[in-house]
Amino acid sequence: MRILLIEDESELAAWLARGLARHGGFMVDWADDAELAERRLAVEEFDAIILDLGLPGMDGHEFLRRLRGRDDRCPVLVLTARDSLTERIGTLHEGADDFMHKPFAIGELEARLNALIRRSRGREHPRWILGDLVLDIGSQRFLHRDEPLNLSPREYAALKVLMQKAGEPVTKQQILDRISPDDTAINLEAIEVLVHRLRKKLAGVDVQIVTLRGMGYCLEPTHGAPD
């Protein structure tokens, strides 16, 4: 799962990124101010946002108001050094989903993030279905005829983004951003190998990954597809 961390303290941000990767397997992208975060959100997708309210320039309150004003429903967990009831109520009204008061334990942060993401997905799409392929959001598994597909973490992440945008083109860069945004060991050419492996594992499943030249890939049902 991919998290956008908006925090201006570099040491705290590095600690959070390491801890969340180690404890929960999260991929954490860091933005040190709200303006940069807005630019990233305009072109990238995240499963949740961790937001420090005390940011330079545009503060966390203004960021939240603008985020919800665009009808962006990405779950937001707020970090704050101030723990007054008035601030908690006001920030919830602005669009926050949960709070953590500094200092905090990384284990609790990881648990709260998982709960936020689980609730967000469960409300909207407890299961995604295409053909006879099912993505169970709760268990984070792909199923075919009620049997789980044996996928590596990268294969799962790639198939998930294709499933999210089923019927639409998904570029190699979009897949790369989802599976390993900061890993320089994997490049765009490696996405072709990953898609090749996925096609093998989807043999017998009523979906196919179609190559759209110059555009990327598209996941679509095979039923009724042209020969």
Cβ-contact 94, 11 below 8 angstroms: no
pLDDT at 125: 52
Cα–Cα distance measured from residue 47 to residue 114, given in angstroms and rounded to the nearest whole number: 10
pLDDT at 225: 46
Mean pLDDT by 10 residues, the chain (227 residues): 92 91 85 94 90 91 93 91 80 90 88 85 68 84 92 91 89 84 70 95 95 93 61
Within a 13 Å sphere around the CA of 41, how many CA atoms are in the beta-carbon half? 27
Residues 6+ apart with CB under 8 A from 112: 77, 98, 100
pTM score > 0.85 for this model? no
C-beta atoms surrounding 82 within 10 Å: 12
Cα–Cα distance measured from residue 181 to residue 137, given in angstroms and rounded to the nearest whole number: 22
* Adjacency order of strands within the sheet including 48-52: 27-31, 2-6, 48-52, 76-80, 98-101
Q: Is the peptide bond before 103 cis (omega within 30 degrees of 0)?
A: yes
